[in-house]
Amino acid sequence: MTVLSNRVLEMKESATLAMARQSRMLKEQGVDIISLSLGEPDFDTPDNIKRAAENALEHGDTKYTPVSGTKALRDAICRKLERENHVSYTAEQIVVSNGAKQSIANACMALLNPGDEIILPSPFWISYAAIAELAGAKVVEIKADVNEGFKVSAEKLEQHITTKTKVILYSSPCNPTGAVFNKQELRAIANLMLKHPNIHVISDEIYEHINYLGEHYTIAQFEDVKDRVIIVNGFSKAYSMTGWRLGYMAASKEIASACDKIQGQITSGACSFNQTAAIEALDGNQVEVEKMVDAFKRRRTLVINRLSKFEGVKCPSPDGAFYVFPDISCYFGKSYDGIIIKNSEDFALFILNKAHVATVGGESFGDGNCLRISFAASEEALNEAFDRIEKAVAGLVG
Ligand code: PLP
Domain co-membership, 310 together with 255: no
Residue 242 Cβ inside 6 Å of ligand 1? The answer reads: yes
Domain with residue 175: its CATH number is: 3.40.640.10
Residue 292, in any domain of the structure:
yes
Cα 180 to Cα 63: distance, rounded to the nearest angstrom: 39
- Cβ-Cβ contacts under 8 Å for 287 (sequence gap 6 or more): none
Residue 30, in any domain of the structure:
yes
Sign of the torsion formed by the C-alpha atoms of 345, 145, 307 and 383: negative
How confident is the model over 204-219, as a mean pLDDT? 96
Domain boundary among 268, 283, 298: 283
Domain co-membership, 128 together with 237: yes
Domain co-membership, 223 together with 323: no
pLDDT (tens digit per residue) in 118-167 = 999 999 998 999 999 999 999 999 999 888 999 999 999 999 999 999 99
> Is 80 exceeded by the pLDDT of residue 382?
yes
Largest CA distance in the chain: 66
Domain with residue 300: its CATH number is: 3.90.1150.10
- 123 Cα: distance to centroid of ligand 1 (angstroms): 15
Give the chain's mean pLDDT: 96
How confident is the model over 294-303, as a mean pLDDT? 97
Domain co-membership, 10 together with 87: no
**Partner residues linked to 169 by β-bridges:** 202
Residue 1, in any domain of the structure:
no
Residue 24 pLDDT: 86
Residue 14 Cβ inside 6 Å of ligand 1? The answer reads: no
Give exposure, 299-335, as e/b (b: 16+ Cβ within 10 Å): bbeebbebbeebeebbbbebbbbbbbbbbbbebbebe
- 101 Cα: distance to centroid of ligand 1 (angstroms): 6
Residue 278 pLDDT: 98
DSSP state of 219: G
Residue 376 pLDDT: 96
Q: Are 77 and 94 spatial neighbours (Cβ–Cβ below 8 Å)?
A: yes
Domain co-membership, 276 together with 246: yes
Domain co-membership, 354 together with 217: no
Residue 33: which domain range?
6-44+288-393
Domain co-membership, 111 together with 208: yes
Best mutation site among 124, 169, 206 for ligand 1 pocket (most ligand atoms within 8 Å of CB): 206
- 242 Cα: distance to centroid of ligand 1 (angstroms): 9
Closest CA to 35 of 21, 53, 15: 21
pLDDT (tens digit per residue) in 312-327 = 999 999 999 999 999 9
Residue 51, in any domain of the structure:
no
- What percent of the chain has a predicted confidence (pLDDT) above 90? 92
Residue 40, in any domain of the structure:
yes
Cα 171 to Cα 163: distance, rounded to the nearest angstrom: 24
Residue 13 pLDDT: 75
- 206 Cα: distance to centroid of ligand 1 (angstroms): 6
Residue 53, in any domain of the structure:
no
Closest CA to 56 of 282, 274, 326: 274
Domain co-membership, 348 together with 377: yes
Best mutation site among 125, 128, 375 for ligand 1 pocket (most ligand atoms within 8 Å of CB): 125
Residue 49, in any domain of the structure:
no
Q: How many domains does the chain have?
A: 2
The identity of residue 188, as a single letter, is A
Residue 257, in any domain of the structure:
yes
Domain co-membership, 144 together with 240: yes
Domain boundary among 283, 301, 334: 283
In angstroms, what CA-CA distances link 398 with 140, 246, 352, 355, 386?
36, 48, 20, 19, 21
Domain boundary among 267, 283, 299: 283
